[in-house]
C-alpha cells in the first residue's frame, strides 16, 4: 500500500507550469514523463463566433495572470507588420530568446547574413530546455525582431528572412 502512494505523488509546481503553458499558448494538451510518472494536462476548446484572445478554458489549476497580457507582447502597429517583406520565423513556444549560445559567444546570425535551411538562427529557452530555432529555408536575414534574453510568446515573429 505504501508503495502505491509513492507512485501517486504529483509535483504540483510542474502541473501549474504545464497549465500556464496551456493558458499562454493555443495548445490544448501538454504531457510530461519523468521516469514512471506521466502527467497530462488538457483543456477543452470552445468555439466562439467572435475572435478568442487566449480565453482560459477549464484546466486543472487556476489561469495564469500573464495570459491576459499576452496580446500586448505582439507588435502593436499593424502597418509595421504589413510593411515587412519576407518570411517571418515565429516562436513555436513561450520562452526566452537568446541570440547567441553563451554571453561570450558571437550571435548565431546578423542582419544581412546568408543562411541555409536548418541553420540555427537563435534559441528559445522554455522550462530550462534550450530549443534551437532553425531557418525554414535558405535566405538572407533581413531583420532580427527580438532582443537577446527577451521573453517571447507563442507565434511571435523572431526573425525576418528574405529570398
Handedness of CA 80, 82, 85, 90 (dihedral sign): positive
Instruction: Give the three-state DSSP class for 142.
Output: strand
Comparing 112 with 63, the larger pLDDT belongs to 112
pLDDT in the model for residue 137? 95
Which residue in the block uniquely carries the three cell numbers 510530461?
32
pTM: 0.50
60: exposed, middle or buried (Cβ count in 10 Å: 0-12, 13-18, 19+): middle
Q: Which long-range contacts does 48-54 make (Cβ < 8 Å, 24+ apart)?
A: 54/23, 54/24, 54/25, 54/26
- Residue 101's nearest CA partner among 73, 123, 68, 119 is 123
Instruction: Give the three-state DSSP class for 100.
Output: strand
Q: Quick check: 79 pLDDT over 70?
A: no
pLDDT in the model for residue 82? 46
pLDDT in the model for residue 146? 95
Where is 40: in which H helix or E strand? strand 37-42
Number of Cβ within 10 Å of residue 92's Cβ equals 15
Q: Are the C-beta atoms of 136 and 118 separated by less than 8 Å?
A: no
Comparing 121 with 35, the larger pLDDT belongs to 121
**Confidence tier at 8 by pLDDT (50, 70, 90):** low
Region 74-89: mean pLDDT is 60
Q: Quick check: 56 pLDDT over 50?
A: no
Q: Quick check: 55 pLDDT over 60?
A: no
- Residue 152's nearest CA partner among 96, 99, 101 is 96
Comparing 58 with 121, the larger pLDDT belongs to 121
pLDDT in the model for residue 145? 95
Comparing 37 with 52, the larger pLDDT belongs to 37
- Residue 63's nearest CA partner among 43, 48, 47, 46 is 43
Amino acid at each position: 500500500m505504501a508503495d502505491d502512494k509513492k507512485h501517486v505523488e504529483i509535483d504540483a509546481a510542474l502541473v501549474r507550469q504545464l497549465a500556464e503553458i496551456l493558458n499562454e499558448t493555443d495548445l490544448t494538451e501538454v504531457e510530461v514523463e519523468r521516469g514512471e510518472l506521466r502527467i497530462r494536462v488538457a483543456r477543452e476548446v470552445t468555439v466562439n463566433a467572435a475572435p478568442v484572445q487566449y480565453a482560459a478554458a477549464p484546466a486543472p489549476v487556476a489561469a495564469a495572470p500573464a495570459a491576459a497580457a499576452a496580446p500586448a507582447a505582439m507588435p502593436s502597429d499593424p502597418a509595421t507588420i504589413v510593411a515587412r517583406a519576407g518570411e517571418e520565423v515565429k516562436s513555436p513556444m513561450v520562452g526566452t530568446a537568446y541570440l547567441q549560445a553563451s554571453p561570450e559567444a558571437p550571435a548565431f546570425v546578423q542582419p544581412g547574413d546568408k543562411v541555409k535551411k536548418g541553420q540555427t538562427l537563435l534559441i528559445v529557452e522554455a522550462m530550462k530546455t534550450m530549443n534551437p530555432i532553425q531557418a525554414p529555408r535558405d535566405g538572407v536575414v533581413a531583420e532580427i525582431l527580438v532582443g537577446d534574453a527577451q521573453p517571447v510568446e507563442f507565434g511571435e515573429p523572431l526573425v525576418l528572412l528574405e529570398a
